[in-house]
Structures are given as structure tokens and as C-alpha cells.
Structure 1
Amino acid sequence: MSDRSESSGVAADDATGRIDQIADAALRLFARYGYKRTSMDDIAKEAGLAKATLYLHFKGKDDVFRAMLALLGRRVEARCREVLISQAPFPERLTALLRAHFATAFESLGTGEHLVELKAVIASIAGQELLVFEDIFARHARNLIEEAQAKGEISLKRTGLSPTMLINTLMQAAAGAKLGPLPSCADYQQRLDAIASVTAAAVLPTG
């Protein structure tokens, strides 16, 4: 009984690892070639697996795409958690949180010519995954703001914004920072840093 349970656990771990291996390969290919130009054959080769192995875990490319977003979300979640653990001042943690979430996603998907296509695919087949991804930032930003407020490190009174309104503004600003000619990773990080700087200046106590 015990051996069977342990064997089942190992099998589940193997399956999870294989799914992540495929999703990681797909992430590289979608960023490099876009969604339409990437085939299941391409993903299998990039992952170093037989094509039949992909179909043991996924029905098709849409499912692989959703798994890819889920993998990216877990990586972003881990980076955001590291920011919250930090004991750095609020301005530094806000900057780090914006980078951990938005810059990580941008570096992974948004720096190439296929950004528009990938965003359309996300809207078409991965709406739920997108909501989950956006919620990562919202949750961690709320924790950061509430913790800083409890310590007296910041005050939202001068802004007239609730935590929810402030978080939504940050998310909209981060999205807007990509508008116009597509910025480089370094330029986008600088724009995120500027958003954090302006926000921190608005909520830090005066005097």
C-alpha cells in the first residue's frame, strides 16, 4: 500500500515536470516565432520529446499555450513573494514588485514582434489564465500597501484613493508604459521605476 502510494506520487511528479518542460519550451518558441508559426512538432523538438508525448498531456496547441501562461504565472508569483519578504523601504519594494510582475512577463513574451498576436491569443483562448495572472500583482500589491499603512510608512489620504483604486492605477500605468514604439526591456524597467517613484512620492508621509 505504501509502495503503491509512493509510486503514484513519483508518477505525478514526473508528469508535472514533463508538463513544465513542455510549457517552458513553448514559452521560448511563442516569444521567438509567435503562436501561429509555432507547431506542436516545433514544441516537441524544443522540449526534446517525441510528439506523441505532448499529446499524452495536451489535446493541442491551445492547451499548451494555457499551460505556458500558468508556468509564467508561477514564476512571477515566486518573484513577487520574494519582494514581500524583503524588509526594504516601501519605495524599493514597490519598484521591485512592479519589476517582478510586469517586467518578468515583458521579458518573457513582450519584447518581440509577436506581442500583438500573443495578446490576441491570450484574449481569445486564455481569458481565465489572464485574470489569474493579473490577480498575482493585485494580491501582492494589496499586501504591500496594507503592511506599509499598518507601519505608518505610507498614507493614502492625500491621494484620495482606496488601495483597490491605487492598485488598478498601477496596473493601468504599467500597461500604458508599453504603448507607442515597443520599448526595450531596459526602457520598460525604467518606465516601471518611474511609476513606482511617482506613486511612492504621493503616498509617503510629508514632513
Structure 2
Amino acid sequence: MGTDRLDEVLDATYDCLTRYGVRRTTMDDIATTMGVSRSAVYQYVRSKDDAFRRLAGRLHEQALARARRAAADTGVPYAARVRGVLAAKLELVLALSEDSPHTAELLDDKARLFGGICSAFTDDLRRLLTALFDEAGTVEGVEPVEAADVCIALVVGLENVADAHRLLPLGSDALVAGYLGAPVSTVPVSTVTAGS
């Protein structure tokens, strides 16, 4: 299976999603968007549902890769690493929300098609954050997994706030400072929110 051609199918699937939503998109729509026959699309995906699952998987995997890079960046303070992990989730949500009201369907962790992908993504972020808090050492009485859960809750809360980009560094830095029991080193916000 050609990866480039599969990417074209997924790009066309995303384009159709922004216009029609999951339910109204057909394999013919995807094929027409690509400028190929429907049978050509079937060479790369088994069905419309398969195309949407793969699309959701690709988008979440790209965001997870950004989160992993941020978590692994030992050249910046823990607060910046945590912020980078959280920014990866927030950027995914905001980017999808801005493109179309239909694209938010890819983020529904209760959806039949995407639920497992969304839940696995959140679980992976939780593990990354837990490892960061475990490595840094949280204050007495706070378990690293609890700190991770609160940080994820912060991002979920920011997903529908107009000023989310500005508030993420403030909120995450305050949480990290409290959980680590130390002031947060100042790191320019742009280094971990834009393009993380």
C-alpha cells in the first residue's frame, strides 16, 4: 500500500468531513475530491468508516508525536515540558474546531468510530505527564498521576475558551509550580505553544 496515496485518501476524507460531516460523506465524495474512481479509493481503505478511523488515528498520532517531543526535551524546565504536552492536545482540538463544526466529531471519545483512538490518546498523554511529574518529584500528598489528571482537566476546560492560547501557559505553570513545590522557570511561551 502506497503511503503517499493513502495520505491523499485521508486528506480527501478530511476535506469531505469539513464539508459534510461523517454521516453524510460517501465513498463517492472521497473519490470525487481525489479525482479518482471509487474503486481506486477502495485500494487504500476498506470503507468510509475505515477512512475516518485512519484519519482520526493519523491526527491523534501527529499530536502525540508533538507531545512526546515536548516531554523528552530535557533542555527546558519541567514546566515547559508539561506545557508542551498539554499544548499538543489543545492545538489538536483548536485546529479541528476551527476548520469546521463537523471536524469535532474526530474528538468524541464516546463515538463508535473514534472513541478508542481518543481514549488511547488521552491515556498516552496521561502516561507522559505522570512520568514527568514522577521524574520531577511532586510535593508530599500529591501523586504524579493525580497531577497529570488535573493538567489534562485544565486543557479540557480550555478547549472552549476564546483565549485558550494565552491561558494555557498561565494555568499549566501555576499547576506545575504547586505540584513541584517550586517556582516555575520562565520560558518564552512561544517555544512550547506554537508549533509544539
TM over 0.5: yes
Change (3 A) 1:29 1:191: farther
Preserved contact between residue 103 and residue 188 of structure 1 (Cα < 8 Å): no
Distance in 1 between the 2:34 and 2:142 partners?
47
Sequence identity, in percent?
27
| Cα deviation code 1:79-99 (max 9, x no counterpart) | 112212321011112111111
Q: 1:140 aligned to 100, 122, 128, which one?
A: 128
Preserved contact between residue 142 and residue 179 of structure 2 (Cα < 8 Å): no
Amino acid at match of 1:84: A
Q: 1:70 aligned to 40, 43, 57, which one?
A: 57
| Cα deviation code 1:122-154 (max 9, x no counterpart) | 6132222222221231222123222323xxxxx
User: Structure 2: where are the runs of 5+ without partners?
Assistant: 184-196
Larger radius of gyration between Structure 1 and Structure 2: 1
Change (3 A) 1:173 1:121: closer
Distance in 2 between the 1:205 and 1:121 partners?
33
Please state whether the residue corresponding to 1:100 is helix, strand or coil.
helix
| Cα deviation code 1:38-86 (max 9, x no counterpart) | 3322322334443212222323221111101111122112211221232
**1:127: which partner in 2?**
115
CA positional deviation for 1:22: 1.6
**1:95: which partner in 2?**
83
CA positional deviation for 1:199: 0.8
| Cα deviation code 1:16-51 (max 9, x no counterpart) | 333233223323432454223433223223344432
- Report the structure, 1 or 2, having the larger helix content: 1
Q: 2:170 aligned to 194, 200, 207, which one?
A: 194
Change (3 A) 1:196 1:47: farther
Write out aligned runs for 1:100-111 (5 A).
100-107=88-95, 109-111=96-98
Preserved contact between residue 13 and residue 51 of structure 2 (Cα < 8 Å): yes
TM-score, length-scaled by structure 2: 0.77
Preserved contact between residue 34 and residue 118 of structure 1 (Cα < 8 Å): no
Distance in 2 between the 1:140 and 1:206 partners?
20
**2:6: which partner in 1?**
19
User: Structure 1: where are the runs of 5+ without partners?
Assistant: 1-11, 150-154
Change (3 A) 1:206 1:167: closer
User: Quick check: 1:174 aligned with 2:155?
Assistant: yes
CA positional deviation for 1:164: 1.5
Change (3 A) 1:101 1:124: same
Change (3 A) 1:145 1:188: same
**2:139: which partner in 1?**
156
Preserved contact between residue 56 and residue 106 of structure 2 (Cα < 8 Å): no
Preserved contact between residue 20 and residue 102 of structure 2 (Cα < 8 Å): yes
CA positional deviation for 1:119: 4.8
